[in-house]
Structure formats: C-alpha cells, structure tokens
Amino acid sequence: MPSYKVAIVGAGPAGYFAAQALQNLHTDDLKFAIDMIERLPTPWGLVRSGVAPDHPKIKTVSKVFEKVANEPGFRLFANVELGTDVTIEQLQQNYDAVVIATGSALGKKLGIPGEDLPGSMSAATFVPWYNAHPDFNDEAIDLTSETAVVIGAGNVAMDVARMLALDPAELDPTDTADHAIDALKQSSVRTVVISARRGPEHAAFTSPELRELPKLEHTNVVISKFDVEAAIVRAGEAIEKDTKSNLDAMLLIADREPTSHDRTMKFQFLATPKEIKGEGRVEEVVFQKTGSDETFSIKCGLVITAIGYEATPLQGVPYEKGKVVNVDGRVKENIYVVGWAKRGPSGVIGTNKSDAAEVMKLLIEDLGTPKNSGDLVDVITHNKVVSQQHWQAINEAEIAAGEPVGKPRRKAVTREELLKLGRI
C-alpha cells in the first residue's frame, strides 16, 4: 500500500487543518506520515499568540489540534527553523510533498512620515507582546500617555483597542502574559481611539465582536450615531447581510445611554492618517477627513497600526505582494501552500479548514511513486527539538502553574523557560 511522507511547515491553524485533511483521507490503500515543523518551541500559532486572551472560547480549537497531533504517523518538530536548521531543498528531497503553512507575521506599514518614531508600532508587535510570544517579551511598550490611537478597522484593531481600554484587572483570570498585565496595570492610557479610513459600512469588524463591546464593565464605548446612520444611507437597500449586521451592532452601541467610566474606547471613521509627529517620540497624529482637504490632529503618545499582515519570505519559496506565489495552493514541484501564506490575512480561524482541505485534495492528485528517502531526525543537527511529548510537558506545566491563580494557564515567555518546562 502506498505510504507517503508530508512535511508541513508551520504549526498554526492552517498547518493543523492541512494535517487533519490528510488524516481524513487515509484509506487502506493510502497512508500518510506527517512531520510538522515549527520555528517556535510551541505550536498552535495565532491560537496561542494572536487570539485575544479575553476571548478564551476561540482557543478551544486547540483541542482539535491535539487530536490531530495524537493520531498515528504524526510527529512535531518544534524549535526548528526553516532556512537555519533545515532547508526547503532538503524537505523536497526527503518528502513526497511539502506544505507551507507559515501564516502572515509581518505588519503592513502606513507609509507616512513619522511612522518609525518611538511609540509607533504595528499590532504585529503589540499582540504577540501581550500574548507571551518569546520573540516579543522584551518589547518596550510606552503606556505613559493618556491617549492611544489604533489605526485599522478589523478585529485585530478592535482587540488591540480593547486590551488598552479595559480595566487590566479583567485580565487577571486570562492567560495574558504576566509582563503585559503588570505594564497595563501601570498604564496611563484612558482614551483609545480606533480610527478607520473609510466609513462604518466598509469596516471589517465582525458583529459578534461589536456586540460584546457593551459588556465591558469599566469602559465607555463611543460610536457616533450620525456616522452609523450616514453609513446606512450610503449602503442603500442592496446592503449585504454581514454589513447590515455590523451596522445594527454599531447602532446599538451608539443608542446606549452614555456611561461615565474612567476609560473610553472611541470609534472614528472617514479619517486618513497623513503624518505622525513628535520630537524623538510620538506626540500626535495628523488626519485628513476622507474625501476632503480638511485636516485635524489627535495628541497621543502611542500609535498602533492594524492594517493587515504579510507573509515572511522563506528562502527557496517564491513571494509576491506579501503572499507565497501559488495557483490554487500549488507553488512548484511538490510544494504547496495553505492559509494566510496562500491567500493573505483573511477570514477567521475556521476559514483555514476548508482552504486546507481543497489544497490537500490537489496534493493527493499530484502524488507519484512514494519516496524512500531519509529522516528529518538525521537532518537536524541540534538537540533542542521540541517533540509532541515535550510540548505536552510544557502545556501541562503551564496549565498547572495557572490553576492556583485562577488562570487557564500561566505562559512561559522565553525560549529557555519553555525548553526547561519541556525537560529539554
């Protein structure tokens, strides 16, 4: 019976859904051995380091990942970096197929003056910082000003704004990184402005996230009713279902009785950022009212952009416009791509499931005679590989550390700590 070896690069949702799709296609006549390669010592990708800590339900998808990982023929090779510890050419030689599932980790830039001033950063830095990503635990986040501006109109922008605007005590029962909770408890930020270039009808927020905002117990949430009603008029009768749901949710927020908490999260629409000003650090953002010549500015000490992501280029893999160059997931001989690296940062976690399943069907169509080649174990020269068993030790240790303080887990934040928990 044919038995094929498949390498999946990236242990996030797209990678696990690709592995699950292959496992679901197992038959008596078709077998797959799956090796999953991950740069970090921990798997799960954005489910661990991207999902907002105050949204724990979204993280329950990790149970699916663990089920995939415990199926026969699956091996995890975490703390292994493509290009450093193993090359794409070596994977091509040793596997019948290679699946790139590395996501999109680089934040897009606005391309305006002052964007590189201290106090200006991407959500691609801020989000992993509060989620205990080992590459970002030493980031210096300046929270000394009263006002912060978040530029973007999607759920990442909303997550960032909410993390800055909620009472940090609300994060105590979450798996937010300890260093982030400590910093947020000392934060001077009391007003967070979410600024969108276009109108409410074009916002990429999703209605469930909008409907949760009024539940914030210690934060005023402000949306102009005029802005929403004008958007409803512009959208007209041919309004799409998701857009209508969004605008309805915004209208509910706009119609609420004003509250008088110390903290405020405010939505601003039709404002195009033109320049970030400051002497040696961020002091204000200049906006132009979209569609006019009128400008205005907001004094602030922190600007976080959440305007999209791009994939990090991998040596030996063609890239263009922030994505892996592909045709329906096919890249080049025995290389495939799934998830955000394939299509850009769009959709929710579940979107990757159908996407991966379609690409794995193409992969199977392309399979020839199985290779009888070497083992990845013989290719990697260092002895710090995190296997599934090591990861289980890390996972159990973090969960055990969280229990006494009422958290789902207490994350280790450095590679050294993680490897120590894995007994490596």
| One domain for residues 301 and 316 | no
Radius of gyration of the chain (CA): 23
**Which band of pLDDT confidence, cut at 50, 70 and 90, is reported for residue 288?**
very high
| One domain for residues 22 and 72 | yes
Report pLDDT for 351.
Answer: 84
Question: Which one-letter DSSP state was computed for residue 332?
Answer: E
Of 273, 307, 341, the residue at which a domain comes to its end is 307
Per-residue pLDDT, averaged over 250-268, amounts to 96
Per-residue pLDDT, averaged over 265-284, amounts to 98
| One domain for residues 208 and 79 | no
The pLDDT mean for the chain works out to 95
In angstroms, the CA 413 to CA 105 distance is 18
Question: Which one-letter DSSP state was computed for residue 108?
Answer: P
pLDDT per residue over 51-89, tens digit each?
999 988 888 999 999 999 999 999 999 999 999 999 999
Report pLDDT for 320.
Answer: 93
| One domain for residues 353 and 294 | no
Which residues are paired to 194 by β-bridges? Answer: 150, 267
Using alpha carbons, select from 347, 348, 343, 352 the residue that is nearest to residue 320: 343
Of 259, 283, 307, the residue at which a domain comes to its end is 307
In angstroms, the CA 108 to CA 232 distance is 29
* Residue 238 confidence (pLDDT) above 90: no
Using alpha carbons, select from 50, 14, 133 the residue that is nearest to residue 306: 50
Residue 405 included in any domain: no
Residue 20 included in any domain: yes
Per-residue pLDDT, averaged over 197-201, amounts to 97
Using alpha carbons, select from 274, 280, 282 the residue that is nearest to residue 119: 282
**CATH number of the domain bearing residue 180:** 3.50.50.60
| One domain for residues 128 and 247 | yes
* Residue 28 confidence (pLDDT) above 90: no
Our count of domains for the chain comes to 2
**CATH number of the domain bearing residue 46:** 3.40.50.720
* Residue 244 confidence (pLDDT) above 60: yes
Per-residue pLDDT, averaged over 345-355, amounts to 84
| One domain for residues 68 and 164 | no
| One domain for residues 318 and 292 | no
Using alpha carbons, select from 89, 112, 102, 115 the residue that is nearest to residue 15: 102
* Residue 309 confidence (pLDDT) above 60: yes
Token pair recorded at residue 400: 């055990």
| One domain for residues 254 and 137 | yes
Report pLDDT for 345.
Answer: 85
Token pair recorded at residue 106: 């680089």
Report pLDDT for 92.
Answer: 94
Q: Which residues contact 167 (CB under 8 A, 6 or more apart)?
A: 217, 218, 219, 263
Residue 325 included in any domain: yes
In the chain, % of residues over pLDDT 90: 87
Of 269, 292, 307, the residue at which a domain comes to its end is 307
* Residue 1 confidence (pLDDT) above 60: no
Which residues are paired to 283 by β-bridges? Answer: none
| CB-CB contact of 364 with 121 (8 Å) | no
Token pair recorded at residue 285: 């953002």
In angstroms, the CA 4 to CA 6 distance is 7
Residue 414 included in any domain: no
Domain with 252, as residue range(s), is 109-307
Report pLDDT for 237.
Answer: 86
CA dist 146 → 162, 220, 263, 301, 349 (Å): 15, 15, 10, 8, 34
Report pLDDT for 363.
Answer: 96
Q: Which residues contact 28 (CB under 8 A, 6 or more apart)?
A: 1
* Residue 404 confidence (pLDDT) above 70: yes
Residue 395 included in any domain: no
Per-residue pLDDT, averaged over 361-384, amounts to 90
Specify the residue for token string 């995190």.
386
What residue spans of 117-224 are helical by DSSP H?
A: 123-130, 155-165, 178-185, 207-212
| One domain for residues 135 and 200 | yes
Angle between helices 13-24 and 351-366 (to 10 degrees): 50
CA 356 distance to own-chain centroid: 17
User: What is the residue type of 56?
Assistant: P
| One domain for residues 61 and 157 | no
Of the two residues 175 and 348, the one the predictor is more confident about is: 175
Per-residue pLDDT, averaged over 259-278, amounts to 97
Per-residue pLDDT, averaged over 284-311, amounts to 96
What does pTM read for this prediction?
0.94
| One domain for residues 59 and 100 | yes
Per-residue pLDDT, averaged over 160-166, amounts to 97
**Which band of pLDDT confidence, cut at 50, 70 and 90, is reported for residue 347?**
confident
Report pLDDT for 2.
Answer: 59
In angstroms, the CA 146 to CA 29 distance is 64
Specify the residue for token string 């801020």.
126
| One domain for residues 277 and 321 | no
pLDDT per residue over 132-150, tens digit each?
999 999 998 999 999 999 9
Q: Which residues contact 163 (CB under 8 A, 6 or more apart)?
A: 52, 54, 130, 171, 184
